[in-house]
Chain A
């Protein structure tokens, strides 16, 4: 918990700005923070915050210090795109505590502001196939396997079950009614702009998946899995194939076609032997 001198926040808006600054998420819009507000309204977080504040003040100003505090809980989401296996957008929501406190000791009193995370961050994993279906208003294709007053869980083939807060889904639906996914990601600030091309690309790939013409192997791109599968189809064992791919990795480039990658892997493998 970071202790700043003086009263740095007098309102929710100022507290939000301070939390975003502390989290290194400047540029995130207030709408995004509001979108995750339900994550901060947790009784457990509140009691934990009281303990944290008490501990921090006593550590700094001694056990005899007394204080009055005004506090705000600001949810700060962090985005990242995970393209391994089933691509997904991962949102890690941490709750930042901003507390403006008046601390009194025997000899003096002072105003301070405490900033820091409380509780464990919550992770939302949204598979791209799920997001695509969500945009197409076709969530019905996934079976709902669990629901309570806060969360709904869908079964998405090829991934773990997707568990999302119902409030978040409603908010997302409202936000994406009038803007694109890229624009929405843009509201997350720099981190959103960072993942936007990958998310947009995946969504476009899914959108055009059925309409695309088959591409010859000579022009197909490759992934590690594709390469291992291709080697296995040439009667190499699985472990052997993985070893050959790892050995060839320094010479492989992501923009190579599958054909080129196979050729280089085989050449490297032969050279190694």
Chain B
């Protein structure tokens, strides 16, 4: 319908349309023509789409579009004025954000570092705590051990706490008389190891007249006694050395005897095993030569692969054979296996010679 119709043509068209649609008018036809013309214009469609979008998105109907447009333009102008200020603020904000981000990153790094350190400290703390616990346990054990040792010492020293308390009192008492405890102990050593030291002391004083003389006599006696014991020890050591040499000699004799016994046993076993064949050996000795042979029959050889008993037969002769005594096969071989036992070359005739 893009071709323009005349008024008459429009009337005709409308009249024709009314055959099917009674209410169809020329106005409707012209409206349709106008609509077609507009639809052909892509800008018109864009405007319609824009208006529809305006209505859908902003809720502004087509009739209000112009007013709304004016308002929006005013708003746009106003907003455009604010743009430089906002851009400046945006720039500042961006800078602040950048700085804040940098600070945030730094803080994040610090936090991470601190967290690592804290973790390290925590680990150290746990380790120290464990060490401390171990140390406490060890200290406790040590304490118990020391207490036990002290207890053992008490027992070894055959003292009790009470005795030590008493010793303390004794020390105080001794010191009150102008002596030291060490002096008193030295004096006591003089009598140590003696039963009834008190009686001995009084007796020694009676015999030797003085304590020092008694001590000198004791020293002489001690030296003499020591020399005697040393001489006894030397004699015993010399005796021990002689006994050790004798023991070594007897051990060697015993080993020799055991070796002889083993040899004799071997000889006995050999005799038992081979004595029965001495006649055969004597007979073979009488032969000029002994030839250890084997049949060369290939049939027996093949049979021997399947069953060893069916293999080529072995035989001994005094003279070189011309055929197998078993099957008559003309080819025979030296039994190299036996010659290997004899350590003798197969090509040379073998003479059996027995020893004396």
Chain A residues near B (Cβ < 8 Å) = 83, 87, 180, 182-183, 186, 193, 196-198, 200-202, 204-206, 208-209, 211-215, 219-221, 223, 254-255
Contact check, B13 vs A209: say whether CB atoms are below 8 A apart: no
Contact check, A205 vs B16: say whether CB atoms are below 8 A apart: yes
Q: Which of B3, B14, B22 contacts A201 (CB 8 A)?
A: B14
Q: Does B243 sit at the interface, judged by CB under 8 A?
A: no
Cα of A196 to Cα of B14 in the assembled complex, Å:
12
Contact check, B12 vs A201: say whether CB atoms are below 8 A apart: yes
Other than A198-B12, A204-B29, A208-B23, give 18 A-B pairs with Cβ distance below 8 A. Answer: A180-B1, A196-B9, A201-B12, A201-B13, A201-B14, A202-B17, A204-B21, A204-B24, A204-B32, A205-B20, A206-B21, A208-B17, A209-B20, A212-B22, A212-B24, A221-B15, A221-B22, A223-B19
Q: Does B38 sit at the interface, judged by CB under 8 A?
A: no
Cα of A204 to Cα of B17 in the assembled complex, Å:
6
Contact check, B9 vs A208: say whether CB atoms are below 8 A apart: no
With contact pairs A205-B24, A214-B22 given, residues A183 and B15 touching in the complex (Cβ less than 8 Å): no
Contact check, A182 vs B2: say whether CB atoms are below 8 A apart: yes
Contact check, B22 vs A182: say whether CB atoms are below 8 A apart: no
With contact pairs A213-B23, A215-B22, A220-B22 given, residues A201 and B15 touching in the complex (Cβ less than 8 Å): yes
With contact pairs A197-B5, A201-B29 given, residues A83 and B18 touching in the complex (Cβ less than 8 Å): no
Main secondary structure of the interface of B (DSSP, over half): helix
Contact check, B15 vs A254: say whether CB atoms are below 8 A apart: yes
Residues in A neighbouring B36, C-beta threshold 8 A: 180
Cα of A37 to Cα of B128 in the assembled complex, Å:
107
Contact check, A205 vs B1: say whether CB atoms are below 8 A apart: no
Contact check, A215 vs B12: say whether CB atoms are below 8 A apart: no
Chain B nearest CB, measured from A181 CB (Å): 8
Contact check, A212 vs B23: say whether CB atoms are below 8 A apart: yes
Contact check, B21 vs A197: say whether CB atoms are below 8 A apart: no
With contact pairs A213-B23, A215-B22 given, residues A201 and B17 touching in the complex (Cβ less than 8 Å): yes
Residues in A neighbouring B28, C-beta threshold 8 A: 204, 208
Contact check, B19 vs A197: say whether CB atoms are below 8 A apart: no
